[in-house]
Chain A
Amino acid sequence: MSAYTSGLGHRGITNGSGAAAVLAAGIGTFAIAVLDVTADKVPAFKSMMNFYRPTGPLSGVTIISLVLWLVCWAVLETMWKKKTVAMVKIATFALVLLVVSLLLTFPPIGDLL
């Protein structure tokens, strides 16, 4: 099996590290969308997201999502950095998360939930 087909580049790097970064980015954007929609539907949750009063719930939603994104990235990187993973499936799933996040945050769609 050649280096290419085994998922190794000519530097001998597996695709796991890249897959971890891509999937974590998808999870991070999806977290923003889910927390945004939840804050819109649940007043108590919206108040909880008010980390920094001048910015309002946007502060809590984005801070939590960014922390979640970085934690997911670190965990996935640790798990996958030396592995060759199913990149097409992972990348497709991450891109779907990003597209769904774009749609969910669009108020006319988010309001339907």
Chain B
Amino acid sequence: MEITERSLWTMIHGMGFGALYLLACSGLIVELWRRYAPASEAQVTARDESFLRIYLVTTAVLAWLAVLSGAYIVYPWYRAVPPAGLADLSAYPRYLLLSKPTTAGWHDVGMEWKEYIAFFAPISMTMSTAVFFRYGHSLKRHPELRNAVLGFTILSFLAAGIAGFFGAMLNKNAPVDGGATIHLAGGK
């Protein structure tokens, strides 16, 4: 059982940081919706607030790690230019996708959209974290602000979901692979 260095980084980027971000973000939407609604009778204790602060910082860090590892580690491998005349494009995912009309759309639409909207998630989540640190449980007394934070969190979840979907489909059609091989375990 082996994995290449590039596959490992792609997994860390997508299934690690990206998927964890989506999970954390979905939990955050529920929490903001349920507990910080102006009409909510749920008591927000100091312990709840401390927990949510850590949760928000973790979620924001995951968002940043997902986009930065994507943009500066995986994406350069994805868009590497093959030498002229090379027939086997399997090590050059962007050019492999563009070589066939049936797969070109995954790059032209999928990657071209994903690479930019992914950045909406860390911007939104950093904003949400900063607002929560500033206002804490008094967000309940600022319903318009709480609604704005919730709106940005939902839309950043949507943006990250779109980016995650296209990331998975791009990697299915033209995997980012290569580099050093890491031996994980022997077969029977």
Contacts and interface: CB of A to CB of B under 8 A. Distances in A.
29 contacts: A3-B141, A9-B141, A10-B138, A13-B134, A13-B138, A17-B134, A18-B145, A18-B148, A29-B119, A32-B116, A54-B72, A55-B71, A55-B72, A58-B71, A61-B116, A62-B71, A62-B116, A90-B148, A91-B144, A91-B151, A95-B152, A95-B155, A98-B152, A98-B155, A102-B117, A102-B155, A102-B159, A106-B113, A107-B109
B165 interface: no
A40 B68 CA distance: 22
A9 B135 contact: yes
A27 B42 CA distance: 34
A7 B152 CA distance: 21
A62 to B, nearest CB: 5
Interface of A: 3-4, 7-11, 13, 15, 17-19, 21-22, 24-25, 28-29, 32-33, 36, 52, 54-56, 58-59, 61-62, 65-66, 69, 87-88, 90-91, 94-95, 98-99, 101-102, 105-108
Interface stretch (B23-31, B83-91, B124-132): B124-132
Size category of the binding interface on chain B = 35 or more
A76 to B, nearest CB: 12
Interface of B: 71-72, 75-76, 79-80, 108-109, 112-113, 115-117, 119-120, 123-124, 126-127, 130-131, 134-136, 138-139, 141-142, 144-145, 147-149, 151-152, 155, 158-159
A18 B113 contact: no
Contacts of A33: 116
